[in-house]
Structure 1
């Protein structure tokens, strides 16, 4: 019998070509065959038949049996092939997983002690500043793996880079498959980012919810109402990891308030969204903010910000930025005053001088 190949065939190598599949099917139907018989049945050369049969041999799907008339190829059961090819690797992987489970169990045994210590002192790790980006990502991945109920995400600054979204999507889809609620807030300007649109489409299709708001507070990530990740103002690679229950609960309430004001994500602006953007822009102009600050606040590029400012000033007939903010504020106030009160609104109780 021929020598079996060393186990460890990669995923790509495990796929049979059409000619190799024909050889395997022929051996199953006709029994052991010599190279010459295989060549005749397949209408090819004997050398080519041996190459194809050798491909099956590497995958443990064929064996080479010597006999008096010459070597003969025979088919091997896929069950046997899987055992020979994958068994050793599966055994190593199983042992490794057992080792990892034991380490996690030993570390998890320390959690009650850690949480009790956290309740006694805020210096015990309830607030932790992590300066290594790799460690931040490792902690986020671990929090996501242990998450069972809810993830809240705030991503200000317009559309996110495509690379960041590609890395986040598998993690977020896994959370949704496990029944975890996923709520994400973007700024309105993210609606025009193609990569963000694709990400949102995939997440929403899996059961997540995404909304947008004109202005947002800083980036935030909260897992299960127990662990929050916040930015470090002077280090974009660092994060503040917050585990103090009252502080995390406060962040969740801030998120809930913003969520109620936000609109479902769409690939364009609604009339209400456009008005909100103009109102925010007008307020920024009236307060004398520079274009760079306005752009950062509204999550848009500087070029886009300046285009919006020019369009707004032209629409209002304003000669200065301050005048544009003032005129838009007047228009918004007039529109609000023109809205009739709802039919069930109670009558005013104020007297003639009220």
Structure 2
């Protein structure tokens, strides 16, 4: 049994309550005054303990006695205290299951109509962010095996992380394997560091890469959520098995190349970030493109490029990219962030 705190939260029985319950079990029946004497506590403490046990149905008054109390079986107490509410909850859950089954029974009709219109089966475009989030929450609630997430763009906004943390911790607590990919630049974001520390401590796995292929979430290798390229408030729900399997394969390849997330400074991450920038420079990418793909600000990106050119004595961005690409990452050390301006990685 449990007791309820001042705001309705459930906690374990207090030690004095357990001692009192044990004493009543051993002596058959007792009064609050006798209980106080036997336990060596004040009358007021004994009365509070008795009130707790009466509330939890673990004690009951002896009929026809003058204030004597006797113990009740914990199973009986639980049935009296939560049985009615538990039955109501079961009925409600059964009703929700019937509603879901009644609606999803129409899926074949919906998919057949889409095929007649030339649409690809297993793909839904949702034009409302609220509906997308509702579908994600529903899929997360039914996920039982694995959740794969890709979050490009550097550190995530603190508000997004605060909303995601309870859902993600709930997934992990149910035994779901949770793997998340970020970009290297996310390591320099305090909110993302805090979120990652909590998720990793709970058993989640987080890794980073210099460049990612796009945002997505996949539940149980059955349902994938993707962004709509020209509408940030919309989303694509993908259930076609072959397409979802392909996305899982792409995720697996990126995961094998990624580095485990660490909140402390990592020379590997700094060098990997530098190598990615060098490759993009050698390919002729513009500063704006590099910054966007690596999830960093344009100012920070240009600072990195300027430092690289200065160190190498390069006279052009292409020459700097070529020289850096020709060198191993270890040959081009990067000073720790603590010695740099506080503008990001």
* TM-score normalised by length of structure 2: 0.74
Alignment partner of 2:307: what SS? Answer: helix
Q: Give, in angstroms, the shift of residue 88 of structure 1.
A: 0.7
Q: CA deviation at 1:78?
A: 1.0
Match of residue 16 from structure 2: 19
Q: How far apart are 1:123 and its partner, in Å?
A: 4.7
CA distance in 1, matches of 2:327, 2:80: 80
C-alpha distance in 1 between matches for 2:113 and 2:142: 21
Secondary structure in 2 matching 1:74 = strand
Structure of higher CA gyration radius: 1
From 313, 317, 320, the equivalent of 1:327 is 320
**Hey, what does 1:31 align to over in structure 2?**
28
Provide, for residues 313-338 of structure 1, a one-character-per-residue CA deviation record: whole Å limited to 9, x for no partner: 3312346xxx14423313424779xx
Structure 2 gap segments, 5+ residues each: 330-345
Aligned length: 315
Who is 2:287 aligned against?
289
User: Aligned partners of 1:325, 1:87: CA distance in 2, in Å?
Assistant: 73
**Residue of structure 1 in register with 2:84 after alignment:** 88
On the 8 A contact 1:312/1:324 being kept in 2, the answer is no
Q: In structure 2, what is the equivalent of residue 198 of structure 1?
A: 197
Equivalent position SS for 1:270:
helix
Given the alignment of the two structures, is residue 99 of structure 1 paired with residue 95 of structure 2, yes or no? yes
CA distance in 1, matches of 2:11, 2:148: 41
Post-superposition shift, 1:74?
1.6
TM-score normalised by structure 1 residue count: 0.72
Structure 1: gaps (5+ residues): 1-7, 337-354
Match of 1:299 in 2: 295
- What is the DSSP-based 3-state SS (H/G/I as helix, E as strand, rest coil) of the residue aligned with 1:170? helix
Return closer, same or farther for 1:171/1:231 CA change in 2, 3 Å cut-off: farther
Which stretch shifts more, 84-93 or 236-245?
Answer: 236-245
After superposition, what is the alpha-carbon deviation per residue over 1:203-225, rounded to whole angstroms, capped at 9, x for unaligned?
7x45x5x5433222331234456
Quick one: distance in 2 between partners of 1:256 and 1:13? Answer: 41
After superposition, the CA RMSD in angstroms is 3.6
Judge which range, 216-225 or 101-110, deviates more: 216-225
Q: Distance in 1 between matches of 2:254 and 2:47?
A: 69
Q: Aligned equivalents of 2:179 and 2:46: distance in 1?
A: 58
Partner of 1:340: none
The answer to whether 1:173 aligns with 2:172 is: yes
Residue deviations 1:88-110 (CA, integer Å, cap 9, x gap)? 11111111122122222222322
Superposed CA deviations along residues 163-205 of structure 1, whole A, max 9, x for unmatched, are: 2541442354267x25x6x5543222223441354266357x4
Query: What is the match of residue 217 of structure 1?
Result: 213
Q: Is the Cα–Cα contact under 8 Å of residues 154 and 183 in structure 2 kept in the other structure?
A: yes
Q: Report whether the alignment pairs 1:270 with 2:268.
A: yes
